[in-house]
Chains A and B, each alone.
Chain A
Amino acid sequence: MKPVEVNSLRKSYGNLKAVDGISFTVNEGEVFGLLGPNGAGKTTTIEILEGLRKKDEGTAKVLGFDPWQKGYELHRKIGVIPQDFTFFEKQTPREGIKYYADLFNVKIDPDEILKEVLLEDSAKNLFENLSGGQKQKMGLALSLVNSPDLLFLDEPTTGLDPNARRAIWEVIRGLKAKGKTIILTTHYLDEAQQLSDRVAIMDHGRIVAMGTSDEIIEKHGSGERLQIHGSEKLADYIRANTELKVEYSNGVISIPLKQKIDALAALAAAEQSKMDWGEIQTRRDSLDDVFVRLVSGTMDEHGEITGKSVHDKSSNQRRQ
């Protein structure tokens, strides 16, 4: 039995298909990333698995339980940070941990957990006075009180500054090193890439790609390409004098390489042209490129706005 088994899961809110028939499994001890733009259905999926929402169709098994029917039993065995984690304003992290320990009826050393989430320094500050990063760390601390082997982290670093995000990553890596199984949702590519063993890219309620980063890039990426900084005229010249497919955009000539030797042909043609050209490099699609292609592709088909912001942002970054 795998910790999480999902099959043809569906959930609609009125006409909106938030989760539209997704299937995946999560292996013991792995970090599984659910990556997608806002509104892709990540939170709905994770909340169904946590037993906070009722599914419409399909099956979901978490640690062998039906999360909705057996939520009360399940909750003793899992740890969760909901999206936008918040707590009682007038309590400190240490008090919060004590409270959860009483509720779960477990004996734990609050200092140990505070250390684990790198929050010893703020142990005695009221929740309302904590920074965004510290609040998330407290959420992590609370999710660890019942010593769960399976953790659900719903956008744990959204809205945090880069330093705070790295600190959370460090905590999550520590948890992974201890053998915990972690399901993570995020709309940050780097986060998914940095932390996850496997990633499922979600868009419009569907999983559009799944696997390790390399697997996804291999399957959905365009492979290796040669890039030459040069003019459009040069691009035309190479196209005319080789059998290669040549693309041009914004001063960069881009040539997909079917085999490595293609690069030589392209460079020979460039040299022969007697025109000026600058930097050359070969590169592969990153997960970023694939993500933008997959998600924006879906967006174009349906003409939906969801996912657009992420797409726009990423493509702007690429142009810079």
Chain B
Amino acid sequence: MEKLPEKAFMINPVIKGGSKLVSTKRIAADFKVFSRGYLRNKFGLFFGLIFPIILILIFGAIFSGSSSGTITVYAQNKDTGPFPTPQMDIATQFLNALNSSGTIRVVTVAASENFSQYLADHSASEGIVIPENFSANYLTAQQVDVTVYGNPTSSTSGIVTGTVSGVANYFNLQRFNGSMVIGLTQTTVNTQQTKYVDFLIPGLIGFSILVSPMFSLVNISSEYKKTKLFKQLSLTPLTKMEWLASKVLFYIVLSVVSFLLMVAVGVFAFGAHVTLTLWLIPFLILGPMLFAALGMLVGTVTKNPETAGVIGNIVTFPMMFLSGTFFPISIMPEYLQGIAHVLPLYYIIEGLNAVMVYANYAQALIDIAVVTAITIVIFAAAVKLFKWRED
């Protein structure tokens, strides 16, 4: 390095870029310092990158192999009667019999729905349709077919077909001594069967999008306030917007790295089915932005790091568990599902699932819209309330 003469320090250097506008150079400088600090801190690295992978390995191992008890099957009952006596509603009895088989759980779909479309919208590959006049035909011993939707490559579909066929046989045996009155037609659905690990990966990506920026920003923004580091930074040309921008940028990069690691582990260790598309990008950008801003907001409105930590946990933990991180929210009771719907992370994970598992882009678009709106509100609030200096 060329040594400057002592005198050079007496002369004021020419200071360019005196405007208060956002300077990419300053963002880059702050980004460099922050990421270097992050990489030197083993703790942050562990929670940012290693921990989510450990979670995938643990949860993946717990739920791999054994199929979970009952299979959810959508059923549409087109047999609307009329039934002179309830005993003559054979269609309902048929569905009840399916339910009591123990292998499948029937979820009824209104007769007015377009069933194939409904299955696609709900990312389901198994379904049953009871035709019109099913009961009447059965009672008068006229041949009638139940339609079973399924994916031939999926073992779940096989179980559903087997169960329906078993129940049909039982009904045939009971009244007609085994002659084929109720038959089965099969319709192929191309939706892929989803495994637990397929849900787990988007869930844990959501988890890491939430946890790293959130905890970090709660911590930094309250600590820097306490140690007066913010005050000190306010004495440099760095603006608070630039400071926040560099943090958001850093956590976007971290989320992408963490995303790639988790997908790799999921695919190679558990053979997960993951679709990688450009649709993921909005979530990987908006997510870190949202939670960095939320963490900052918590750190800003609280008096000291201790309170900030507590409030941060109160905000973070319900989201961590109720947003579909470790298990699909459909298995939760309804009131918890209601809570899930007010948690921002829910929409990120729903969106990631829609994109990575179900290729349901209409759903993804809604989620992107919701997440964008929440992000704008939280970000604006954080920037407004966050102060470099005090009055």
Contact = CB atoms under 8 A, between A and B. Distances in A.
Given A54-B391, A109-B4, A147-B11, A86 B33 contact: no
A52 B234 contact: yes
Interface string B165-194: 000000000000000000000000000000
Contacts of A51: 389
Nearest to B232: A82
B33 A91 contact: yes
Q: Is the interface of B mostly helix, strand, loop or mixed?
A: loop
20 contacts: A52-B235, A76-B15, A76-B18, A77-B12, A78-B235, A82-B232, A83-B228, A87-B229, A95-B33, A102-B25, A102-B26, A103-B29, A103-B238, A104-B236, A105-B23, A105-B25, A107-B13, A111-B3, A146-B15, A178-B9
Contacts of B18: 73, 76
Nearest to B23: A105
Nearest to A54: B391
A315 B32 CA distance: 52
B20 A104 contact: no
A72 B229 contact: no
A214 interface: no
Given A52-B231, A75-B237, A102-B26, A88 B33 contact: yes
B7 to A, nearest CB: 10
Interface of A: 50-54, 71-73, 75-78, 80, 82-91, 95, 99-100, 102-109, 111-112, 116, 126, 144, 146-147, 149, 178-179
A99 B33 contact: yes
Contact of B1 (A50, A104, A109, A179): A109
A78 B9 CA distance: 14
Contacts of B20: 72
B384 interface: no
Contacts of B231: 52, 82
A99 B29 contact: yes
A304 B256 CA distance: 59
Contact of A106 (B13, B34, B227, B234): B13
* Chain B contact patch, size range: 35 or more
A51 B389 CA distance: 9
B44 to A, nearest CB: 10
Contacts of A106: 13, 15
Contacts of B229: 86-88
Contacts of A111: 1, 3
A295 B84 CA distance: 104
Given A80-B232, A95-B33, 5 more contacts: A77-B12, A91-B33, A102-B28, A112-B3, A178-B10
Given A75-B237, A103-B238, A112-B3, A85 B36 contact: no
Contact of A90 (B29, B36, B228, B232): B36
Contacts, number: 110
> Across chains A and B, which 3 residue pairs bring their CB atoms closest together, nearest first?
A102-B29, A90-B37, A90-B40
B391 A100 contact: no
Contacts of A52: 231, 234-235, 389-390
Contact of B391 (A53, A105, A116): A53
Contact of B235 (A53, A80, A178): A80
Given A53-B390, A76-B15, A86-B227, A104 B237 contact: yes
A216 B169 CA distance: 111
Given A52-B389, A147-B11, A88 B16 contact: no
B117 interface: no
A105 B235 contact: no
Contacts of A104: 15, 236-237
Nearest to B3: A109
B17 interface: yes
B62 to A, nearest CB: 36
Nearest to A96: B33
From B15, B30, B32, B235, residue with most partner A Cβ within 10 Å = B235
Nearest to B20: A72
B390 to A, nearest CB: 7
B165 to A, nearest CB: 65
Contacts of B29: 99, 102-103
Contacts of B12: 77, 147, 149
B41 interface: yes
A105 B36 contact: no
A159 B36 CA distance: 30
Contacts of A100: 236
A108 B141 CA distance: 96
A35 to B, nearest CB: 22
A52 B390 CA distance: 7
Interface string B361-391: 0000000000000000000000000000111
A73 B236 CA distance: 10
A105 B236 contact: no
Contacts of A116: 9
A126 B40 contact: yes
B231 to A, nearest CB: 6
B15 A75 contact: no
A49 to B, nearest CB: 12
Contacts of A77: 12
B4 A112 contact: yes
Contact of B9 (A73, A75, A90, A147): A147
Given A82-B232, A89-B37, A90-B40, A103 B1 contact: no
A82 B228 contact: yes
Contacts of A78: 235
Contacts of B41: 90
Interface in B338-366: none
Contacts of A53: 389-391
B33 A105 contact: no
